[in-house]
Amino acid sequence: MAPRALRRRGVSARHSDDGLRRDRDHAAAVGGCRLWREAAIIIAVVLSVCLLCMLCFVSAGLIARTLGRTGNAVLSRVLGMLLAAYSVQFAIKGIAAVRASLP
């Protein structure tokens, strides 16, 4: 709020600035802690996904032998359909965004 608007309401500018400064300092302290915690969670999730991918790549030969020729063909077709569905969804959302931005 502007000091003029505060004076109209009967609040002194000095009193309101002290309160705002105190609230801003508290928010910065809490927000800084929250940001650090969120960053740690994101890093842990990324490392977990990397570890899972590494385990899949290391055991790819075993998985391929376990699935066999037919299993690999089926898995390949299912993943191809999933990729096609994602690409169609991506294209539809892009077209909808362009149409929404046009006058």
Residues 41-57: tens digit of each pLDDT: 999 999 999 999 999 99
Q: How many residues does the chain have?
A: 103
- Tell me what the mean pLDDT of segment 50-70 comes to: 95
Cut 0.75: pTM above it: no
> What are the backbone dihedrals phi and psi of residue 9, each rounded to the nearest 5 degrees, phi first?
-85, -5
Rounded distance between C-alpha atoms, residue 28 and residue 30, angstroms: 6
Q: From the CB of residue 96, how many other CB atoms can be counted at a distance below 10 Å?
A: 10
Cα distance between residue 6 and residue 17, in whole Å: 10
Measured from the Cβ of residue 6, the count of other Cβ atoms closer than 10 Å reads 16
Q: Which two tokens stand for residue 17?
A: 């600035």
